[in-house]
Amino acid sequence: MLPFPNDFFTINDDSTSTGKRLRLTNETFPLSDAGESINATEWNMLDGFSPLPVITSYFADVSLDNIPPHKDIARSLVSNCPTIILDTVTMERVAHWGELDETTKATTERAFMMWPAQVGHF
């Protein structure tokens, strides 16, 4: 599912206020620890993703060097910041912070996450 979220997982739907609807399958989700799949039916009733979603991806050798932390979001707006979230309408940078997924006990293969600090860009 990475990078997540993205429009690959939506379809156009004029009946919703956003004009979109999620398009997920049971195979889209990872299996639970018990080997069970998640039923996508209720997810597909949603008209898009949260207005402030985490942007998640995976890089084998990701480094947090110079990645703006949540305590220094302003660093995300400087020209030499290694991460960029761009408002494609205004072409302005969107303030954000980055981190590795702390919800897993694994010390390797953790997802890289970028959190927008502004609502309304997605």
Match 């195979």 to its residue by tokens.
27
Query: Are the beta carbons of 82 and 66 closer than 8 angstroms?
Result: yes
Q: Reduce the DSSP state of residue 84 to 3 states and report it.
A: coil
> According to the model, what pLDDT value does residue 43 have?
87
What pTM did the predictor assign?
0.61
How do residues 67-99 score in pLDDT, each as one tens digit? Answer: 999 999 999 999 999 999 998 889 999 999 999
